[in-house]
Amino acid sequence: MNILVVGGAGYIGAHMVKQLTLAGHVVVVLDNLSTGFRSLVKYGELVEGDIADTALLDQLFSQQVFDGVMNFAACSLVGESMTNPGKYYRNNVSNTLSLLDAMVRHGVKHFIFSSTAATFGEPAYVPINEAHPQLPINPYGASKLMVERVLKDYHAAHGLNSITLRYFNACGADPEGELGESHNPETHLIPLILQAASGRREAITVFGRDYPTDDGTCVRDYIHVEDLCSAHALALEAIVTGNKQGALGYNLGNGLGYSVQEIINAVQQVVSEDGCCVKVKESPRRVGDPACLVADATLAKAELAWNPQYTDLTTIISHAWEWEKQLSYFS
């Protein structure tokens, strides 16, 4: 297939591009490099540009017939979305509309959308399945939920088939060491702890030890980036072949909850082999951090035949540590 990957210079997008290319697909990456990195585009053709640029989109879709589009481009910092909501609604909603309208103009009918567990807000129950109410508590989650609604309307009006994939906590790195997580600023727990271990960060801060969990720290569901990408590939195949039609949504996670302290302990075990240790600082809770977020991915496994390969926490951390060592003075 010919596939356009928007945001393919970012963390998840770059892994997706590699996986698609190695599977024999022809990939074009569209990225404005605002948060992505040219160096991560090791596969496919990179077109530097923005999905808000209508003329560029028309040029791309005129030059090549795409079987499907994957969109990983988004602003994704919850805290920033609270202080600058306009940025999130413009980038995550308005710019996605620009992309969808270009697809409609050029007859491209297959779309995979990167969404988030933040659309669910405070969990009413865990694990969280697709029937859970979607009541986001921040503009980031709200912006993603808006696009989910738009996709339903675009299917009804234009016959656009889409699958939305809601991530819980993406983590890990390319097992071959070519790609990994590079955010500025970094906000994800595992790379933050690894940076504390490598010396690129003074310490890891634990925000609150008074949650109603076994050890008092927040519990999250961590899913390897390679497993996220395999779900995207299966989702695209499902709609391109016609096995799935409509505007569908699936939750992606391992269904295993690990506390912040458990992640710190697991990282310490991995990095100790290199003589490193993790310094920990304590801080009060952050506003808006739910005690527990764990996915129920039963539906994705049943309907997309998705089978995560990297569910072991030590394996996930080891892959991420090998990448961190390349970025730090341990390389």
Closest CA to 171 of 325, 323, 4, 38: 323
136-165: pLDDT as tens digits: 999 999 999 999 999 999 999 999 999 999
pLDDT of amino acid 289: 84
Pairing of β 110-116 and β 257-259: unpaired
Helix/strand/coil for 331: coil
Report how far residue 172's alpha carbon sits from residue 317's, in angstroms, rounded to the nearest whole number.
6
pLDDT of amino acid 331: 40
pLDDT of amino acid 186: 87
Query: Which two structure tokens, joined as six digits, stand for 267?
Result: 């990282």
Residues annotated as catalytic are 140
Report how far residue 16's alpha carbon sits from residue 11's, in angstroms, rounded to the nearest whole number.
9
Does residue 113 contact residue 71 with C-beta atoms inside 8 Å? yes
Which domains are delineated in the chain?
A: 2-171+223-252 (3.40.50.720), 189-220+255-327 (3.90.25.10)
- The chain-wide mean pLDDT, for the chain, equals 96
Does residue 68 contact residue 112 with C-beta atoms inside 8 Å? yes
Lowest mean pLDDT among 91-95, 100-104, 286-290: 286-290
pLDDT of amino acid 290: 87
Report how far residue 113's alpha carbon sits from residue 119's, in angstroms, rounded to the nearest whole number.
13
* Cis upstream peptide for 185 (omega within 30°): yes
1-10: pLDDT as tens digits: 999 999 999 9
Burial of 294 by CB count in 10 Å (0-12 exposed, 13-18 middle, 19+ buried)?
buried
* Cis upstream peptide for 212 (omega within 30°): no
Where would I find the H helices in the chain? Answer: 11-22, 54-63, 78-83, 85-88, 95-105, 139-158, 189-198, 225-240, 260-271, 298-304, 313-327
205-262: pLDDT as tens digits: 999 999 999 999 999 999 999 999 999 999 999 999 999 999 999 999 999 999 999 9
Report how far residue 194's alpha carbon sits from residue 189's, in angstroms, rounded to the nearest whole number.
9
The pTM assigned to this predicted structure is 0.95
**DSSP string over 131-190:** TS----SSHHHHHHHHHHHHHHHHHHHH--EEEEEEESEEE---TTSS-----SS---HH
